Structure 1
Amino acid sequence: MTEANETGRSPWAVFLIFLRLGLTSFGGPVAHLGYFHAEFVARRRWLGERAYADLVALCQFLPGPASSQVGMALGLQRAGYAGAFAAWAGFTLPSAIALILFALGLARHGDALPAGVLQGLKVVAVAVVAQAVWGMAQKLCADRARVTIMALAACAVLALPTAWAQVGVILVAGLAGLALFRPQAGVAHEALPVAVGTRAGWIWLTAFFVLLAGLPLLAALQPEGWLARIDAFYRAGALVFGGGHVVLPLLQAEVVPPGWVDNEAFLAGYGAVQAVPGPLFTFAAFLGAVAQGGYGGWAGGIVCLLAVFAPSFLLVAGALPFWVRLRASLRTQAALAGVNAAVVGLLLAALYQPVWTSAIHRPQDFALGLLALVALMFWKWPPWLVVAASGALGGGLAALLP
């Protein structure tokens, strides 16, 4: 076991690692998975390619923000429940605090960073995702059948760009894996130790469904109080598949019609969240802080932030012990061989849309992305340094080539 693998066993160490990622991980959920892959698979070797792909596959099935759930699972695997909370806090708090400050009128993040710097941060996401796709494809798509599944998965989700299409592709790929692959008994299987038993898993899953059914009843008793807000944001985190931008229309339907947040403030917050790193679900912190009726400010931001992410923790802690056991069977390994190839295909499709299409518009964008990719893959620069350099170069290019 390497020294990098030995480090990060305490919740505090997990928090610091994820805090750096939370400060530098621009580019949305697909890019976040790329940052996680670079940090925890390639650099620290907390887990292998297949184990990481298995985690990504599980979180693609679960409702909520997939990248944040992968982060929670990584923290849970390293340092138990405290590690899961530490991973979430480190990755989430930087953007959440920035958005609360923006909501309180203390910062104007949309205007604070020049457009060139923001463009550089978008471009570096292309390099991060490309590196992750290449590294995973080398390990998980090692024959013609898996390469074919990867390519077909990418084509399918590009043709049908919906969250349900992604779930359908993963299911079909699992069936294809069952039909095509025959894992051998006794072949080494990458370990994914998690300090959560099946009994605890049942408790967490039960809590998830009890809150999902019970909060609306409690909120009906206090339709304008804290419970109504907790219920609205909990349901948004519990019922959205695909995460990220998919949650925005649901949040708008929850907060604008009741008058908690006016539509102008909602759109201003949506613009601000594009300029901060970390998960898009931290938009809930902005909405909670800007809410009217005496339920905003820091308290509102924190309450809504915890409410929207609570389902993710309950689902990860509840599903992971069953997933860890299920993935050890030979039939599950055959299905996962197909699923993992499809996961690479999903990342490949996302590398094009939205990562590439939103970032690469001019030759200088391509040049900056190529330099970032070389720095990551061949110069072995840490991702945070590549992010900082790309932001600086993006600002310089904007000044020289307006």
Structure 2
Amino acid sequence: MAHRQTAEPSDTTSILGIFWIFLRLGCTSFGGPVAHLGYFREAFVNRRRWLDDQAYGDLVSLSQFLPGPASSQVGIGLGLLRGGVPGALAAWLGFTLPSALALAAFGMAVTHAGQGIGGMWLHGLKVVAVAVVAQALWGMGKSLCPDQERASLSVAAAAAAVFWPGVWTQIAVIVASGLLGFAWFRSAGSPFPVRLSKRWGMAALALFALILALSPLAAARGGYGLQLFDSFYRSGALVFGGGHVVLPVLQAEVVPRGWVSNDAFLAGYGAAQAAPGPLFTFAAYLGAVSGGWLGAAAALTAIFLPGFLLMIGALPLWEGLRRRAGMQRAMLGVNAAVVGLLLAAFYHPVWTSAILSSADFALAAAAFLLLALWKLPPWLVVALCALAAGLGVH
């Protein structure tokens, strides 16, 4: 018999409470940024009711426009909405620390990622990500694409992203869908309380730009520490599209300088695939290889700082725009497009990299059943699927 799902009490306003929730997510959120959005939706829309699907879709849409790690910025935004800047910091720390510490320790050990049984465990984590993303898509689709027009717009967005993959296609799809929504749909909105003034938001954006302008000058006159900070800050500030897109940028920064060998870079990337949480924590590994624990802390802080400042700066301005009737109509189209973009990402790389056999499909279907109907917590389903794959059951 299926367990009835109920919303958890909304008493997690303390900074420690926010940190603890995101720490658990940071330990169990496997599968990459699209899967992370599914975990966030289950935790904060379905279970805790911090916001509804409309507001969550708006937050995801904002993250698509900003450079940096999209799923981490959604987490930062959720923490900001719940507990202000301290809540944003607590959310980021909780979600980031597990994988960052693991990868930094791996970098200090200077070993290669294992194969064999480890590869099967990793594949099981990819398979369960299929179920997590499918559940999120199903729920978001019902809420954000409830009629023929928005469902059609979502499918069109997915088709465009599949046929012409790339960051600029995503941006064009979002802009075009916003224009269509402005012209065709009726306004709609939902509460989206931001615990930060526009003045503080503008200060955060100014600080982002100031660091971006001055860090290359400081690096040119400074030593290894300033050069490391500059390289990772620019990587986080100027890259759209999330973790995988930043990898060639980081490789160009650290390998030619001799900070990390190419073999060590590839070994760390393999380890990062097996870690939960954001792929940007790969910076902790690179910093540890080149500069020990202090290098890991500096690289991790530098690569996430731009996205942190941008989300804090943009969210108060975004809330002001959301209150306008025209923007509300546009957001109906944008949210439908976001569902389509997530659908495209569900096909590739989530599905294509995970479902390689009929046994994989059966395991993913079982995981979806446990999540959607039996209402088991995602961390337990992750553990069961990883165990089944590691033992060769699937």
TM range (shorter): over 0.9
User: Which aligned pairs between 1:81-230 and structure 2 lie closer than 5 A?
Assistant: 81-105=85-109, 110-111=114-115, 114-183=118-187, 189-222=189-222, 224-230=223-229
User: Which aligned pairs between 1:1-40 and structure 2 lie closer than 5 A?
Assistant: 4-40=8-44
Shift of 1:247: 0.1
Question: 2:193 is matched by which residue type in structure 1?
Answer: P
Indicate whether 1:355 and 2:350 are aligned: yes
Q: Distance in 2 between matches of 1:107 and 1:262?
A: 13
Counterpart for residue 317 of structure 2: 322
Shift of 1:395: 1.6
Instruction: Name the count of aligned residue pairs.
Output: 389
Q: Which structure 1 residue ranges, 5 or more long, are not aligned?
A: none
What is the TM-score with the length of structure 1 in the denominator? 0.94
- Structure 1 residues 151, 230: CA separation in 2 closer, same or farther (over 3 Å shift)? same
Shift of 1:372: 0.5
Would the aligned equivalents of 1:110 and 1:275 in 2 still touch at CA under 8 Å?
no
Indicate whether 1:333 and 2:334 are aligned: no
Q: Which runs of 4+ in 1 moved over 3 A?
A: 106-113
What is the TM-score with the length of structure 2 in the denominator? 0.96
Q: Distance in 2 between matches of 1:234 and 1:83?
A: 22
Counterpart for residue 257 of structure 2: 258
Q: Which structure 2 residue ranges, 5 or more long, are not aligned?
A: 1-5
> What percent of counterpart residues are identical?
58
User: Which aligned pairs between 1:294-305 and structure 2 lie closer than 5 A?
Assistant: 296-305=291-300
Question: 2:266 is matched by which residue type in structure 1?
Answer: L
Question: 2:210 is matched by which residue type in structure 1?
Answer: V
Q: Distance in 1 between matches of 2:62 and 2:102?
A: 30
Q: Distance in 1 between matches of 2:18 and 2:45?
A: 15
Shift of 1:164: 1.6
Give the aligned CA root-mean-square deviation in angstroms: 1.4
Shift of 1:111: 4.7
Shift of 1:261: 1.1
Shift of 1:76: 0.8
Instruction: Spell out, residue by residue over 1:218-272, the C-alpha distance to the aligned partner (whole angstroms, 9 max, x if none).
Output: 11111x4211110100000000000110000100111111111111111111111
- Structure 1 residues 395, 316: CA separation in 2 closer, same or farther (over 3 Å shift)? same
Q: Distance in 2 between matches of 1:317 and 1:380?
A: 33
Question: 2:51 is matched by which residue type in structure 1?
Answer: L
Shift of 1:7: 2.4
Instruction: Spell out, residue by residue over 1:307-340, the C-alpha distance to the aligned partner (whole angstroms, 9 max, x if none).
Output: 0000011000000001011111110011000000
Q: Distance in 1 between matches of 2:379 and 2:55?
A: 24
